[in-house]
Amino acid sequence: MQERYNPKDTEEKWQKYWQDKELFKTKEDTTSPKFYCLEMFPYPSGRIHMGHVRNYVIGDVIARYKRMRGFNVLHPMGWDAFGLPAENAAIKHGTHPAKWTYENIDYMRGQLKKLGLSYDWQKEIATCNPEYYRWNQWFFIKMLERGLVYRKSSLVNWCPSCETVLANEQVIDSKCWRCDSIVAQKELEQWFLKITAYAEELLRFCDTLTGWPEKVAAMQRNWIGRSEGVEIDFPVAGLDKKIRVFTTRQDTIFGATFLSIAKQHPIISELINDKDILKKIASLSEDPEKKEGVFTGLCAVNPLTGDKLPVWAANFVLMQYGTGAVMAVPAHDQRDYEFAIKYNLPVKVVIIQDSRIPGFQDSSEKTINPSTPRPLDPSTSLPTTQAYEDDGILVDSGGFSGLQSKEAKDRIAQFIEKSNLGKRTVNYKLRDWGISRQRYWGTPIPIIYCDTCGIVPVPEDKLPVLLPMDITITGKGTNPLSGVRDFINTTCPKCNKPAKRETDTMDTFVDSSWYFLRYCSPHVNDMPFNSGRTNYYMPVDQYIGGIEHAVLHLLYSRFFTKVIRDIGLLKADEPFKNLLTQGMVIKEGAKMSKSKGNVVDPDYLIEKYGADTVRLFCLFAAPPERDLEWSDQGVEGAYRFLNRVWTLVNKGLRDWGLGIGKGQNTNPQSPTPNLLLRKTHQTIKKVTNDIERDYHFNTAIASLMELVNEAAAFKVSSDEDAYALNLCIINIMLLISPFAPHFAEELWESIGHEQSLLTAPWPEWDEDMAQEEEVELVIQVNGKLRGRLMIPQGLDDDSVKERAFQDAKVLEYIKDKPVKKVLVVKGRLVNIVISEK
RNA sequence: GCCGGAGUGGCGGAAUUGGUAGACGCAAGGGACUUAAAAUCCCUCGUUCCAAAAGAGCGUACCGGUUCGAGUCCGGUCUCCGGCACCA
């Protein structure tokens, strides 16, 4: 063993060893308990960053730990390899996207290997490989057969910089998720996946995701956005036409004073001829801050009151949600209220506050502003400046007056259904997933357009539709594929006449929606995956990745899993049993980014300190779910720690013959076990429990540091001492191995092992050995700490009290004051309660 | 506005079931070794009172409550972070 710790040599040596001996190869048996450990695969952008390092190190520790615990671990890695940056690089540097992508993959694979990550590289996949993306096409056709795919023209989110469409989930704050450009709206023909068909199940199963952070499940529920209400028909006055509205507040229907409809509502083009009005409607503001409307000239009839209500086109009514029309109740909806004030429309109060409703507060002293007509404050009957949106008691509502909102909702819904005026409905905010992308570097959508037969899917046996490699990408104009004649021109599979191919490619989120299934059997060619093997490994036991995919990738994957289950290939209902969303790596309080100039280069760090130091720092500086503040000095600290362990082992080898089987426990029945031995057992227990308890590696490593500190201070003066220290150091090696694997292997070998440490089981602790014989007892007087003393473990309460009352300092506090009560918490403290006077 | 989460030394963070607040590490200060420096090792390190020690007081964003006892539980307030937001 070398005198000095030399990470570079050590790490290269063991990486080669692991590879040569195929130690990370997945076992093909399906009898032992399995553990599927998965980290979100990266986009091959060129080089890995610290966020990747943290993500993959966390996963690697879990995989290594579970292997030592005897699980059959599947721990794969691959590449989310289709995507726009490859095309941008092609435009900028004149390379082919495929070449650029595969070169990046090669470089990044090397980087991951240098981190000592224990992947089974034989399971590696890249989504841009035809062997992979043909199954995207296959799933697309299967979904088409099941009615889960359709094509329609609609307003879509258009990113002018990426020159492509984005799904709703991919628009963040009106900006493109990838490049932050402001997203525009554009009318386009698109292919959609009917994720809404699974809205109810996706929502319901959120409750079963107990291994997920509550936050992520909440975000998904929020995104799906279920709301119950009724659809009601409002006849158009004087015409045989109806406007159907959706509302969740049917209890306020008697307070409706007008209707608001979306400016794209079909009734506008159908019934309105006045060019002036049409023009005004068309030029309504797009700004969501400003409420604007135009009176259409139409009137509708409230089916419950018979009142005539003016119909307004309003810019804040969304055509995509509900029916594109709403009944406006300004007294009880803030938006309608503001709109009514602006256009001088009537306000009618039909709900008043109910003192029986929890949260009711009597507010009799309200400021009165009599200048403009306002609805009445429901509790004071005085004018107010806001709509009253809470539940309450119905007034002025015909036969429903006097009911509470909750009951009124039910009764009015019943009445509407019975009278054939409408029906109860459920609406979701979730919309179908538009997957067409007007780009080259993605999966071709397997569709053919035939003048005779129309839209024809490519037959299964003609898959894959290969992405042509012979292209030029200019970045100007349309999709590069539309210029490739050999690709576009084909024959119709039905009638054999000349036909054209679809030139759009799929959203790359399709690729990542099922890759975790492919990993289970990445080399099968007749199916997307082997069901037997996949059913054995699925669901993923631990999934690890960034919170940014809380809705996007995680929702799409859940959807795909359910569809594939319904196709009959999979048993699992949900893909990811446990989810860990790791925090960001930040420096100087901000996310690392090139523009801020605060990036840390993993290659440089590995070169300088070695991968084990980088791994250890990432794990020690914060628990995995929290943000990690990068600290160069913290890295030094991790490096120092490894050096201290190295020195400890070196000294042992030199001074007292550290090695396998060194020393005998000369007195195994000794009534006072060696203190170092006890600390060793306590540390095994602590490290194991910290890993099992939400992967709190930071405290696990802290306790290892404590043990190392004690071992370093320990003086060997007998055979028993040597035995204890020997056992302690061997356990340090085992316990540190998931965190700093090369380092542990090197030490393991240095004490005489011929087999890799990877074949060793995780150590177990002996509860008796870990037990303290004496514990420190804290004595409190009236809850304040007044003394400490050592007592034997398990001393009975009466003796504990007796000893507490022998403590001189404690007696001084008590003096002659009467003792009211004495409380004993076993093994911890005594609290003596006395009267103050 | 609604829904999550957080607030503890100079810093990152511990405190697992209501029971010794500040483990472990970083930084800082002092010392040893050295011609010197680096590395390494040892000591100090929440704050106030006191020359110091001993000791005592205060202290987990703020106010209050429950309890023998609260960083932890309850009610309210403030601040910060994340998500959603004309979704009828």
Residue A646: is its pLDDT beyond 70? yes
Alpha helix (H) residue ranges in A115-146? 130-145
Question: How far apart (Å, rounded) are the C-alpha atoms in residues A6 and A406?
Answer: 72
Res A808: pLDDT: 76
Q: CB–CB of A188/A154 below 8 Å?
A: yes
Please give the radius of gyration of chain A, using alpha carbons only, rounded to the nearest integer.
35
Q: CB–CB of A332/A314 below 8 Å?
A: no
Q: CB–CB of A673/A667 below 8 Å?
A: no
Res A596: pLDDT: 76
CATH 1.10.730.10 for domain A632-770, yes or no, is yes
Question: CA–CA distance from A799 to each of A487, A794, A803, A806, A813 (Å)?
Answer: 90, 10, 6, 11, 20
Question: How far apart (Å, rounded) are the C-alpha atoms in residues A228 and A432?
Answer: 19
Q: CB–CB of A193/A433 below 8 Å?
A: yes
Res A670: pLDDT: 55
More confident residue, A830 or A180: A830
One-letter amino acid at A287 equals D
464-523 of chain A touching strand B, CB 7 A cut-off = none
More confident residue, A289 or A720: A720
- With bands split at pLDDT 50, 70 and 90, how would you rate the model's confidence at A607? very high
Q: Can you name the CATH fold of A774-834?
A: Ubiquitin-like (UB roll) (3.10.20)
Question: How far apart (Å, rounded) are the C-alpha atoms in residues A136 and A446?
Answer: 9
Residue A502: closest CA among A122, A189, A719 = A189
pLDDT, mean over chain A? 89
261-280 of chain A touching strand B, CB 7 A cut-off = 262
Q: CB–CB of A142/A136 below 8 Å?
A: no
Residue A252: closest CA among A389, A382, A381, A377 = A389
Nearest nucleotide over every DNA/RNA strand to the A623 CA, judged by C1' = B13
Res A673: pLDDT: 57
797-826 of chain A touching strand B, CB 7 A cut-off = 809, 821, 823, 825
Question: How far apart (Å, rounded) are the C-alpha atoms in residues A250 and A256?
Answer: 10
Proximity of residue A589 CB to strand B below 7 A: no
Residue A401: is its pLDDT beyond 50? yes
* Domain locations along chain A: 33-127+583-630, 136-194+432-508, 226-428, 632-770, 774-834
Proximity of residue A63 CB to strand B below 7 A: no
How is residue A501 written in tokens? Answer: 């191919």
Question: How far apart (Å, rounded) are the C-alpha atoms in residues A725 and A729?
Answer: 6
Question: How far apart (Å, rounded) are the C-alpha atoms in residues A34 and A66?
Answer: 9
114-143 of chain A touching strand B, CB 7 A cut-off = none
In a 10 Å sphere around its CB, with 0-12 CB exposed, 13-18 middle and 19+ buried, how is residue A311 labelled? buried
- The residue written with tokens 């020393």 in the block is A663
Res A837: pLDDT: 52
- List the A507 CA – B5 C1' distance (angstroms): 32
- List the A387 CA – B85 C1' distance (angstroms): 18
Nearest nucleotide over every DNA/RNA strand to the A625 CA, judged by C1' = B5
- List the A294 CA – B64 C1' distance (angstroms): 53
- List the A580 CA – B61 C1' distance (angstroms): 29
Residue A493 backbone dihedrals phi, psi, to 5 degrees: -65, -20
The answer, yes or no, to whether the previous bond of A266 is cis (omega within 30 of 0) is no
Residue A169: is its pLDDT beyond 60? yes
In A34-168, DSSP assigns E strands to 34-39, 72-74, 78-79, 125-126, 149-159, 164-166
Res A815: pLDDT: 77
Proximity of residue A782 CB to strand B below 7 A: yes
Nearest nucleotide over every DNA/RNA strand to the A708 CA, judged by C1' = B24
Q: Return the SS3 of A363.
A: coil
Residue A48: closest CA among A101, A109, A99 = A109
Question: How far apart (Å, rounded) are the C-alpha atoms in residues A797 and A800?
Answer: 5
Nearest nucleotide over every DNA/RNA strand to the A169 CA, judged by C1' = B84
Task: Give, for A19, the enclosing helix (H) or strand (E).
Answer: helix A7-20
Alpha helix (H) residue ranges in A538-631? 552-567, 602-609, 611-620
In a 10 Å sphere around its CB, with 0-12 CB exposed, 13-18 middle and 19+ buried, how is residue A33 labelled? exposed
Nucleotides in B strand less than 7 A from protein CB: 3-5, 11-16, 19-21, 23-27, 39-42, 56-57, 68-70, 82-84, 86-88
Residue A376: is its pLDDT beyond 70? no
713-732 of chain A touching strand B, CB 7 A cut-off = 713
- List the A590 CA – B33 C1' distance (angstroms): 42
Res A363: pLDDT: 37
Question: How far apart (Å, rounded) are the C-alpha atoms in residues A545 and A529?
Answer: 24
Non-local CB neighbours of A747 within 8 Å, separated by 6+ positions:
A1, A645, A646, A649, A733
Res A365: pLDDT: 30
Q: How many helices (H) and strands (E) does chain A have?
A: 26, 34
Question: How far apart (Å, rounded) are the C-alpha atoms in residues A112 and A77?
Answer: 10
Q: Using the Cα atoms of residue A311, residue A314, residue A317 and residue A320 in order, give the sign of their dihedral.
A: positive
Res A382: pLDDT: 54
Nearest nucleotide over every DNA/RNA strand to the A689 CA, judged by C1' = B16
Q: What is the pLDDT of residues A325-372, one digit of tens each?
A: 999 999 999 899 989 989 999 999 998 876 554 444 433 333 333 334
The answer, yes or no, to whether the previous bond of A623 is cis (omega within 30 of 0) is no
Q: Can you name the CATH fold of A226-428?
A: Isoleucyl-tRNA Synthetase; domain 2 (3.90.740)
Proximity of residue A324 CB to strand B below 7 A: yes
pLDDT above 90 covers a percentage of chain A that reads 65
287-316 of chain A touching strand B, CB 7 A cut-off = 287-291, 315-316
- List the A784 CA – B58 C1' distance (angstroms): 13
Residue A731: closest CA among A712, A744, A713 = A744
Proximity of residue A91 CB to strand B below 7 A: no
Q: CB–CB of A291/A277 below 8 Å?
A: no
Proximity of residue A587 CB to strand B below 7 A: no
Q: What is the pLDDT of residues A798-827, one digit of tens each?
A: 888 888 888 877 888 877 788 888 888 888
Kindly report which amino acid residue has its CA closest to the C1' atom of nucleotide B67. A783
333-362 of chain A touching strand B, CB 7 A cut-off = 333, 335
Domains A33-127+583-630 and A632-770 share a fold: no
- List the A830 CA – B78 C1' distance (angstroms): 37
The answer, yes or no, to whether the previous bond of A444 is cis (omega within 30 of 0) is no
CATH 3.40.50.620 for domain A33-127+583-630, yes or no, is yes
Res A370: pLDDT: 33
Kindly report which amino acid residue has its CA closest to the C1' atom of nucleotide B42. A713
- List the A240 CA – B15 C1' distance (angstroms): 73
Question: How far apart (Å, rounded) are the C-alpha atoms in residues A684 and A579?
Answer: 26
Nearest nucleotide over every DNA/RNA strand to the A290 CA, judged by C1' = B86
Alpha helix (H) residue ranges in A346-431? 405-418
Question: How far apart (Å, rounded) are the C-alpha atoms in residues A343 and A417?
Answer: 33
- List the A676 CA – B31 C1' distance (angstroms): 29
Q: What is the pLDDT of residues A40-67, one digit of tens each?
A: 999 999 999 999 999 999 999 999 999 9
Question: How far apart (Å, rounded) are the C-alpha atoms in residues A413 and A180?
Answer: 44
Question: CA–CA distance from A413 to each of A253, A301, A754, A755 (Å)?
Answer: 11, 18, 77, 74
Residue A39: closest CA among A56, A17, A63, A19 = A56
Task: Give, for A730, the enclosing helix (H) or strand (E).
Answer: helix A719-736
Question: How far apart (Å, rounded) are the C-alpha atoms in residues A242 and A303?
Answer: 11
Question: How far apart (Å, rounded) are the C-alpha atoms in residues A289 and A308?
Answer: 29
Question: How far apart (Å, rounded) are the C-alpha atoms in residues A644 and A648?
Answer: 6
